[in-house]
A and B are shown apart, each in its own frame.
Chain A
Amino acid sequence: GAVVSQHPSWVICKSGTSVKIECRSLDFQATTMFWYRQFPKQSLMLMATSNEGSKATYEQGVEKDKFLINHASLTLSTLTVTSAHPEDSSFYICSALSNRQETQYFGPGTRLLVL
């Protein structure tokens, strides 16, 4: 089946630093990847849609300068949380779209804690 990995699985950082999260599709190519944020006991909130070779499309209310997304290849998208603050602490989940199957496959998530 389709496998999506995320790295790191968890990260603790100091306020003001930047954190990069990688999302990889391991056995399929993904022109489109998605980044979600999930708060405790809540559903997923779509942050942005990442398309290979072009700029990401951000959802309303998501700061594009704070959450930098790069999708340089068909198997890798990265999310960089710049100048992280404690309120950015959350569970970040990526997904990759398998175009042939019209289905999103999700990564295991990255838990970010900003102190």
Chain B
Amino acid sequence: AQSVTQLDSQVPVFEEAPVELRCNYSSSVSVYLFWYVQYPNQGLQLLLKYLSGSTLVKGINGFEAEFNKSQTSFHLRKPSVHISDTAEYFCAVSEGGSYIPTFGRGTSLIVHP
């Protein structure tokens, strides 16, 4: 069975600074990888996903993530954050062929002015 580790529970950063939210997974088979964002009192919104192909995935709101199979990682990055990026970010992984992802515990991104 797969598992997901989000190494940082909280990441504070200043506006316009770059940010990286880390995600590692464990699985013995091929995987699909996802990043979701949750704003306060809202559901989850898909930021980006990796199913196959190019390991660098670009998503909405200027975010991107890179699938690194050897390091079993799928870190999320943004070169310059905005106050509006303050939210909870969830990494999720599902094993190829399964539509039910396992979610990480979430990373709270806090952008300060």
Contacts and interface: CB of A to CB of B under 8 A. Distances in A.
Interface in B14-60: 32, 34, 36, 41-46, 49, 51
Contact of B42 (A4, A42, A49, A109): A109
How large, as a class, is the contact surface on chain B?
A: 10 to 19
A107 B99 contact: no
Given A34-B100, A43-B104, A43-B105, A106 B32 contact: no
A44 B6 CA distance: 14
B105 A105 contact: no
Nearest to A91: B41
B103 interface: yes
Interface stretch (A14-22, A61-69, A81-89, A96-104): A96-104
Contacts of B34: 103
A106 B44 contact: yes
Given A102-B32, A103-B34, A106-B36, A32 B43 contact: no
Contact of B106 (A6, A43, A49, A104): A43
A108 B103 contact: no
Given A97-B99, A102-B51, A43 B90 contact: yes
A46 B100 contact: yes
Contacts of B43: 4, 6, 93, 106-109
Contact of A104 (B51, B101, B105): B101
Instruction: Choose among B32, B99, B103 the residue with the greatest number of A CB atoms under 10 Å from its CB.
Output: B99
A68 B50 CA distance: 33
A7 interface: no
A49 B100 CA distance: 9
Contact of A44 (B45, B90, B99): B90
8 contacts: A42-B106, A44-B44, A103-B49, A104-B99, A106-B45, A107-B43, A109-B41, A109-B42
Interface of A: 4, 6, 32, 34, 42-44, 46, 49, 91, 93, 95, 97, 99, 102-109, 111
